[in-house]
Amino acid sequence: MKRNNKQKFTRLFSILIVTLALMLTGMAQNTLTVVERSKALAVFGKVIWRNQPEPITIDGIDQTSRLITQTDTNTIRLHFNVTGTFLPGTWALRILNTANNVVWSYQSEIGDKTQFWSTEIVGNQAKVEVLSTRRENKITVLVDAVAVTTASSIPQSTTPPRDQMIEINNEIVQRRDWGKSVARLRFIGDDGKLYFCSGFLISANLLMTNEHCPDSENEWRSTLVDFDFDVPNTRPRPENVSQFKDFVLSHRPLDFSIFRLKFTPPGRVPLVLDTSVPSPNKDLLLIQHPGGKSKRISVIDCKAVAPPQGLSPRSASDFFHLCDTEGGSSGSGVIDPATGKVVGLHHLGWDTEQMPLPPDSHQLNQAVLMRDIINFIKTNRPDIAAEIGIQ
């Protein structure tokens, strides 16, 4: 199972120790030290915890509702904390918009969490209804936090001469088809910030992204997975927004995670993973959601590059590339345009604050070799390797 909150605290303490060690040893070796998440990802909102949560109480067979309002935002997500005595499967919760249409529902089942987030609701108001079908149920639902969108700066990792990413709909049909397996991820961090990432299908309902994207159980359970978000200035269609059903596998040094989706919208073919190692100047392409924007493709001047003299990638499993990215591109597959297969997993840019690049050097992005990720999956989860179709 994915780390629980106690394990998360232990992990954070360990990271402090590892980060200190890397600062002392990594700089001497010209390797990239651990970067803060906000330097690698796009932040697009925050969580507002309510000092006086608004309770919705139900006793027996009943139905009740409450209108929740949050000012100064265009969208909201509500956090629910459910307490009381009740049987799973005997109560439900739903959200109605200002037009009194049901836009989201939650039916309790055995093993479900009693704390969870709603999907994104357009507007700043939501009517929450709670329904019970058993007389012995005594339920209190607290709306104790609201996630809101805000304007934030986006880390840039573009290479000269300028941002040359192309809207996916302006690309050739074959590449648009590859892009149908790429999704935008929106999740609520344990630090109270809202983050964007990217990810891509590797089987009918398995999705790969970076481990530094959702990396706790609370975070992956809050994640919204937006497929076919291809047109600027629009919103993902509800039927194309999935969520994670289960955590499958992750590895921090290789910075990858695999999750199983609750459902996959039809009409897409998973991307194929490849053990090929890109040589310097090898042409590449990268399909992504930079800064959480609609889908883009980086193909112009997108290529692998040899390390500048005196510099090394973060690890032996990494390689440098010059594909334009932004915060939110983390978790994108680096694709060989000749085959359409994924040869790397983009995960970060060079941290120039920790270590300035040599004069006249390009901004460097880094990806994990898919070869090493494949080997890890085959060794540790042969069942998943078989599901993905890797030998």
**Does residue 172 share a domain with residue 116?**
no
**Does residue 232 share a domain with residue 197?**
yes
Domain count, the chain: 2
DSSP notation for 274-314: --PPPPTT-B-EEEE-GGGPSPEEE-TT-BEEPPPTT---S
- pLDDT value of position 104: 93
What is the separation, in whole angstroms, between the first and last Cα of the chain?
Answer: 25
In a domain, 11, yes or no: no
- Asked which of 149, 167, 187 is the last residue of a domain, the reply is 149
SS (H, E, C) 313-371: CCCCCEEEECCCEECCCCCCEEEECCCCEEEEEEEEECCCCCCCCCCCCCCCEEEEEHH
What radius of gyration, in Å, describes the C-alpha atoms of the chain?
22
- pLDDT value of position 151: 73
Ramachandran sector of residue 34 (left: φ over 0; alpha: ψ -120 to 50; beta: rest)? beta
- DSSP H or E run through 11: helix 5-25
**Does residue 232 share a domain with residue 339?**
yes
- pLDDT value of position 52: 86
Full residue range of the structural domain in which residue 129 is found:
44-149
In a domain, 22, yes or no: no
**Does residue 232 share a domain with residue 135?**
no
**What tokens does 282 get?**
């090898």
In a domain, 232, yes or no: yes
The CATH number linked to 311 is 2.40.10.120
- pLDDT value of position 314: 83
In a domain, 37, yes or no: no
- pLDDT value of position 10: 39
- Asked which of 89, 114, 149 is the last residue of a domain, the reply is 149
Tens of pLDDT, residue by residue, the chain (391 residues) = 445 544 444 343 333 333 333 333 333 333 333 456 777 788 999 999 998 888 999 999 999 999 999 988 999 999 999 999 988 889 999 999 888 899 999 987 766 778 999 999 999 999 999 999 999 999 999 999 999 998 776 776 766 666 688 888 877 888 889 999 999 999 999 999 999 999 999 999 999 999 999 989 999 999 999 999 999 989 999 999 999 999 999 999 999 999 999 999 999 999 999 999 999 999 999 999 999 999 999 999 899 999 887 788 888 999 999 999 988 999 999 999 999 999 999 998 876 666 666 655 567 899 999 999 999 999 999 999 999 999 7
